């Protein structure tokens, strides 16, 4: 049992590392993940490497292809828009429930995450802002007090991480995002469930100008994948 737990711990750490490399663009869509290379690079056996790849495949971040091994998933624009549409509705539901169910302690954590976003924005640091932004959204997922909804929101959030991260590089997006966060916080603290849902939906959905920005982000990833 101890051996099995050790393998699971290593595979989890490796999964988190590869997930982060995909999110930051270090591993671009189309990149190949070779088992032997991962074993040598990280000094582990094949078992945790295979387990990590299976987990990443289940999250939709990579594809396991016969005779080609693992490849970082490439999501087309149409599919990506569909995923953002679903994400916006999941987050709207989280916001609606959080406005009704969050405890005082959870509201305080949401405010702290919002303040951390403000500091990152003031520092003009998109990477720091992304991490604080993720903390902000996860606080809303937890605050929904719906375990299944929380799991689904976190899962889709992970799949969209590379693209949500790239969007923050668009000019003035951090300022816009922070202003939207502010409206979300005010709605949640006021217990206004519908306002919280509507502001979160508008914050996440990709349409209009954001669609063009997303296409530009995909074009930025494309050269590395070729």
Unique residue bearing structure tokens 């640091």: 125
Tens-place pLDDT, residues 63-111: 988 777 899 887 777 888 899 999 999 999 999 999 999 999 999 999 9
What residue spans define the domains of the chain? 2-72, 77-225
Give the CATH fold of the 2-72 domain: Arc Repressor Mutant, subunit A (1.10.10)
d(CA 202, CA 136): 16
User: How sure is the predictor about 115, in pLDDT bands with cuts at 50, 70 and 90?
Assistant: very high
Q: Which CATH superfamily is domain 77-225 in?
A: GntR ligand-binding domain-like (1.20.120.530)
Tens-place pLDDT, residues 121-178: 999 998 899 899 999 999 999 999 999 999 999 989 988 887 787 777 777 888 999 9
Indicate whether 223 pLDDT > 60: no
DSSP 15-84: HHHHHHHHHHTSS-TT-EE-HHHHHHHHT--HHHHHHHHHHHHHTTSEEEETTTEEEE----HHHHHHHH
User: 3-state class of 172 per DSSP?
Assistant: coil
């Amino acid at each position: 049992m101890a051996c099995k737990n050790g393998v699971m711990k290593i595979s989890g750490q490796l999964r988190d590392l590869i997930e982060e490399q995909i999110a930051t663009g270090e591993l671009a869509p189309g990149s190949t993940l070779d088992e032997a290379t991962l074993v040598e690079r990280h000094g582990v056996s094949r078992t945790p490497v295979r387990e990590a790849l299976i987990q990443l495949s289940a999250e939709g971040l990579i594809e396991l292809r016969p005779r080609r091994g693992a490849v970082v998933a490439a999501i087309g624009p149409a599919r990506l828009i569909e995923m953002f549409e679903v994400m916006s509705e999941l987050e709207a539901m989280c916001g609606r429930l959080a406005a009704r169910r969050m405890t005082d302690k959870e509201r305080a954590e949401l405010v702290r995450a919002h303040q951390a976003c403000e500091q990152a924005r003031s520092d003009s640091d998109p990477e720091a802002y992304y991490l604080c932004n993720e903390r902000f959204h996860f606080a809303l997922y937890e605050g929904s007090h719906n375990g299944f909804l929380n799991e689904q929101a976190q899962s889709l959030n992970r799949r969209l991480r590379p693209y949500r991260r790239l969007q923050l590089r668009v000019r003035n997006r951090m300022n816009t995002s922070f202003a939207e966060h502010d409206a979300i916080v005010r709605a949640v603290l006021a217990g206004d469930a519908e306002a919280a849902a509507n502001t979160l939906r508008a914050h996440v959905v990709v349409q209009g100008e954001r669609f063009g920005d997303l296409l530009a982000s995909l074009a930025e990833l494309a050269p590395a994948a070729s």
